Amino acid sequence: MKVFDIIKIGSNLLKSKKIPSYVLDSELLLSKTLDKSREEILTNLDQKVDEKKFFLFKQYLSRRSKHEPLAYILEEKEFWSKKFEVNKNTLIPRPETELLVNELLEKYKSKKIEILDVGTGSGCILIILLCFSKFSTGIGVDISKNAISIAKKNAFRHNLHNRVRFLNKSFESIFGKKFDLIVSNPPYIERKDIKNLSEDIKYFEPRKALDGGNDGLDLIKKVIYKSKEILKINGTLALEIGNGQFKKVSKILTDNKFRIKRAIKDYKNNIRCVIANNN
């Protein structure tokens, strides 16, 4: 069977399962199957694909048709133009997080700082910060042993293993060390709202990384309280937050002697990240 026909079969199936990016997803799954770039397969639509490869493609297609995220099937996701290994133990990096990273690099790119990444997941935030802040070092913590394993692989992939440590522990157990920057994309979805998330997220992404408790602020509060202890004077706390949480998070920050320096809006004009300094 030819590449053109296989892409068409995949697209039609995914379209019937109401997956919006059905053509692109079919092309990318075939790209993974053949171990060739998407561009390469699209310039060779008459290329024949053997039975064994077609069977593998159908396995990938079956997973995507059940709304498993494409990133988990491809086992990687691009973030800040670099590729990161991801799997079901890590959240999939998103554009809102890139906005936060961009803001932090504006400030810290040429400085030498110590960074703590709370709930590091795949390690993408910390790794990008260190890729572009050449003099800095960092620690990423996560309560998921499997997530830490992925973060370590990503550090090696980007040749940063000498400047970063990934630890399988709670950030609340950090003592005796202070940081210039604490960054976190904590769970911030209200527990009752998880059922309303898209199938890709609620059935596949790690629940612990999504569930922010009854008000969505459980982990955000804990990060703010702990940051008071382990931030250096005039240190920075950078948080990704949920849509509509800015007012409440601002109050928690100011009640804990933080000064809000910047509120970052997403592409839909909602405040999704907040940067604050301790007094």
What CA–CA distance (Å, rounded) separates 181 from 138? Answer: 9
Q: Hey, which residues does 262 pair with through a beta bridge? A: 275
Residues of the chain with pLDDT under 50: none
DSSP 8-state secondary structure symbol assigned to residue 93? P
pLDDT computed for residue 279 by the predictor? 74
pLDDT at residue number 135:
93
pLDDT at 259: 97
Give me the helices (H) in 45-187, please: 51-65, 70-74, 95-108, 124-132, 145-157
Strands 271-278 and 231-240: antiparallel
Nearest CA to 179 among 260, 238, 116, 128?
A: 116
Global pTM reads 0.93
pLDDT of the residue at 45: 95
Burial letters 3-33, b for 16+ CB under 10 A, else e: beebbebbbebbeeeebeebbebbbbbbbbb
User: Which helix (H) or strand (E) is 75 found in, with range?
Assistant: none
Residue 235's pLDDT is 96
